[in-house]
A = this chain, B = another copy of it.
Amino acid sequence: MDPQRIDALLGFLALADRLKTVERRGLVPLPDGTLRRENSAEHCWTIAVVALLLHREVAAETDLARVLSMLAVHDLVEVEAGDTYAYDPAGRATQVERELAAADIVFARLPPDLGPRLRALWEEFEAGETPEARFAMACDRTQGFLQNVLSGGRAWRDHGVALADTRPRMAPAEAVDPAFAALIGALYDRARQGGMFGEAPPA
């Protein structure tokens, strides 16, 4: 490897490292009983584990290498654009534009053979059209929901997210495969029984 390529790879990895400082709204339960915010790097690892558990469970055959690659890179743009909360309409309104601008910065840091390849994985995830992208999306949303259940729904209540607010986000994941529907259905049961959802602020 020539020095320029080495510099590019190490520079990209230094940039990617910042994903560990991008905080999500979801919370991680700590051994002492308190909660802290999950960061996007941790989230990206967890969804890989979800994908491993469900890969053979779903009917659609998917290329696991592409699924796991997509999951590893799907949030990289957040090192520039930050995490956008699923239930923040103002943030969601500008998300596509902000993340496109971020992608131009982030993937340009890579050598010309790698940048477009990783960007294509991100774009495939965002487009959500291939079986791999749909499977990856369902893993991503299942994990976000699970993280709320694991932390007793605290983030939902803090941000006034009611059960009905979560439906538009979770229904597409459930539609990917009955395995996701079953898992997400069980998580809804736990959340309801545990009184975990918040109350939507009055209109």
Contacts and interface: CB of A to CB of B under 8 A. Distances in A.
A120 to B, nearest CB: 12
Interface residues on A, range: 35 or more
Contact of A182 (B1, B50, B113): B1
Interface in A150-166: 150
A6 B65 contact: no
A182 B9 CA distance: 11
A48 B31 CA distance: 27
Interface in A125-176: 146-147, 150
A28 B38 contact: no
A83 B1 CA distance: 32
Nearest to A50: B13
Contacts of A3: 186
B13 A20 contact: no
A193 to B, nearest CB: 14
Nearest to A113: B56
A189 to B, nearest CB: 10
A64 interface: yes
A57 interface: yes
A102 interface: no
A6 B183 contact: yes
23 contacts: A1-B57, A1-B178, A1-B179, A6-B183, A6-B186, A9-B183, A10-B183, A16-B49, A17-B29, A19-B45, A20-B42, A20-B46, A21-B31, A41-B41, A45-B45, A45-B48, A45-B72, A48-B68, A49-B72, A52-B73, A53-B110, A63-B65, A68-B68
B21 A53 contact: no
Contacts of A29: 17
Contacts of A56: 113
Contacts of A59: none
Which 7 residue pairs are nearest across A and B when measured between Cβ atoms?
A65-B65, A45-B45, A68-B68, A64-B65, A48-B72, A1-B182, A41-B42
